[in-house]
Homo-oligomer: A and B are copies of this chain.
Amino acid sequence: MRAVTISDGELAWATRPDPVPGDTELLVAVRAAGLNAADLLQRRGRYPAPPGVPADIPGLELAGEVVATGARVSRFAPGDAVMALVGGGAQAELAVVDERVAMPVPDGMGWAEAGGFPEAFCTAHDALFRQCGLQLGERVLVTGAAGGVGTAAVQLAAAAGARPVASARNPAAHGILLELGAASAAEPGDALGEGPFDVVVELVGASSLPGVLGALATGARVAVVGVGTGARIELDLLALMARRAAVSGATLRARSVDEKGAVVAAVTRSVLPLAAAGRVRVPLAATVGMDAAPDAYEQFAAGGKIGKIVLVGP
């Protein structure tokens, strides 16, 4: 097969041996694979692949057709359209995925959208519901809301009956964020003015979090998922105590297949029906051929995108 490969920071479209599915795995002919900040970090040598994953093929999510299954696979069969959350290796013609981290592609969802769905929606779901325990009617702030996880978080918060405020530096994103269900969409300073917030999905990092911590309601929960602007902040513990607030952080990639499977199961149960009904979608900033991966990585690094950049198969 051919795959996007990383060698000394250089991307190539190179030939690699076809992967072979284990007992509980699916072999998938990849049709689309979303790009994530983690891929750019990995290219720069700062986010090595976890054990058990191809070390030199990036990609944390994919969609495609099942072409073979391991002996103990029970939920999928050859010909099925699946999407999956993986620890790496997605940006290739073929990938193996454990069936626990695979989901059926909902009716009506195209390949590119499906390839950009798993990482964004699993991350947003884990942040809003597992980390923050989002409740009906709560006031949510999503910072850096224009990207994949941000647009997913806004849609999930709205679907759950919360009131999402979307913060995005790029004014061109505000209209789309309102369409996706944001109660308001504004530049960061103005968005903070709409607080206090019960739940915050922090996708920006050090440049954003101090302001966020000043705009919390009593009992607030902050999930830190992105730290593109830096990862070190000064935390005032007395302010945290006075607000009875909690700050948590999480990444998906390092989790075991079982743990990823638990997130995928929750998303399968609660989000796929919304996707099938057209109530949540994956906004696409761009689709780029896998053999032109360097262009896609450059677009991602340039910033300002609205929604996902997805690599599509040849």
The residue on B at minimum CB distance from A131 is: B246
Q: Mark A200-237, 1 if CB is under 8 A from B, else 0.
A: 00000110010000000000000011010001111111
Q: Contacts A209-B237, A231-B238, A237-B206; is A248 near B246 (CB within 8 Å)?
A: yes
The reply to whether A240 and B224 contact each other, CB–CB distance below 8 Å, is yes
Q: Which one of B131, B233, B236, B238 lies within 8 Å of A237 (CB-CB)?
A: B233
- Cβ contact of A242, chosen from B235, B240, B251, cutoff 8 A: B251
Interface size class of A (residues with CB under 8 A): 20 to 34
The closest CB in chain B to the CB of A202 belongs to B237
Contact check, B232 vs A232: say whether CB atoms are below 8 A apart: no
Chain B residues within 8 Å of A224, by CB:
237, 240-241
Does residue A245 face the partner (Cβ distance < 8 Å to B)?
yes
Kindly list chain B residues whose C-beta atoms are within 8 Å of the C-beta of A234: 232-235
**A16: interface (CB < 8 Å):** no
**Complex-state Cα separation, A236 to B227, whole angstroms:** 10
The answer on a CB contact under 8 Å between B248 and A240 is yes
Number of copies of chain A assembled together? 2
Residue of B nearest to A238 (CB): B231
Residue of A209, A232, A236, A237 with most partner-chain B CB within 10 A: A237
A250 touches B241 (CB 8 A): yes
- Kindly state the separation between the CA atoms of A237 and B248 in the bound complex, as whole angstroms: 9
**A244 engages B249 (CB within 8 Å):** yes
Say yes or no: B236 contacts A232, CB within 8 Å: yes
- Which of B209, B227, B241 interacts with A251 by CB under 8 Å? B241
A77 contacts chain B at the CB level, 8 A cutoff: no
Smallest CB–CB gap between A206 and chain B, Å? 7
Name A245's contact: one of B205, B231, B249, B254 (CB within 8 Å).
B249
Is A176 at the interface (CB under 8 A from chain B)? no
A247: interface (CB < 8 Å): yes
Q: Could you tell me if B240 and A247 are in contact, using CB atoms closer than 8 angstroms?
A: yes
A232 nearest CB across to chain B (Å): 6
* Supplied contacts A233-B234, A242-B254, 17 more A-B pairs, CB within 8 Å: A205-B237, A227-B237, A231-B236, A231-B237, A231-B238, A232-B234, A232-B235, A233-B235, A233-B237, A234-B234, A237-B249, A238-B249, A240-B249, A243-B249, A244-B249, A244-B250, A246-B249
Closest 6 CB pairs of A and B: A246-B248, A240-B249, A241-B249, A231-B238, A235-B235, A231-B237
Q: Which residues in A have some Cβ–Cβ distance to B below 8 Å?
A: 131, 205-206, 209, 224-225, 227, 231-238, 240-251, 254
Q: List 9 A-B contacts (CB under 8 A).
A: A206-B237, A224-B237, A227-B237, A233-B235, A234-B234, A240-B248, A241-B249, A243-B249, A244-B248
